[in-house]
Amino acid sequence: MNINGTNKNDFLVSSSGDDFISSGKGHDQIWFRDGFGTDHVTDFNAAADRIGVDVAGGYSDIFSLGDIYDGAVLTSFSGASLEFHSGDFNNDGSLDTQILVYDQSGLQGTIYLDGVQVDTLQDWNFMGG
Ligand SMILES: [Ca+2]
Ligand SMILES: [Ca+2]
């Protein structure tokens, strides 16, 4: 489904299906829970927006601090992990970021940040666990 934010600060939650999420302007939080599917965030702003993950019971957890690059993995205390890949996944000529989200039992879903180069992301863009 399409999930749209506003030009103010939004708190958005992915559905269990495959979503296209546009959070608009502002400082937005976009949350992903167990079995969230394969989602695209179409206007992620690495200077303002944050991705929240709640797949390992660690919604108030934090991910390890570290550089984000093609192949990087961030883990949380609760056992969730985010694996980052770079590529033009939607074939529009611009690099995108793919984030594979795992909990202890396996892959829980895939997030695409369309048009976002992986090395523009910072660890504070991610929270939860
Ligand atoms: Ca917004
Ligand atoms: Ca979804």
**Ligand showing the shortest atom-to-Cα distance for residue 3:** 2
Distance 39 CA to ligand 2 centre (A): 5
Q: Distance (Å, rounded) from C-alpha 65 to C-alpha 87?
A: 23
Domain boundaries, given as residue ranges, for the chain? 2-128
User: pLDDT over 70 for what percent of the chain?
Assistant: 100
Q: What is the per-residue pLDDT across 6-28, written as a single tens digit (0 to 9) for each?
A: 999 999 999 999 999 999 999 99
Q: What is the per-residue pLDDT across 40-77, written as a single tens digit (0 to 9) for each?
A: 999 999 999 999 999 988 777 878 878 899 999 999 98
What strands, in cross-sheet order, belong to the sheet with 11-13? Answer: 11-13, 29-33, 50-54, 126-128
Query: Which pTM value belongs to this model?
Result: 0.95
Distance 41 CA to ligand 1 centre (A): 12
- 114: CB partners within 8 A, 6+ apart: 40, 41, 42, 44, 90, 92, 94, 96
- Which residues sit opposite 126 in a β-bridge? 51
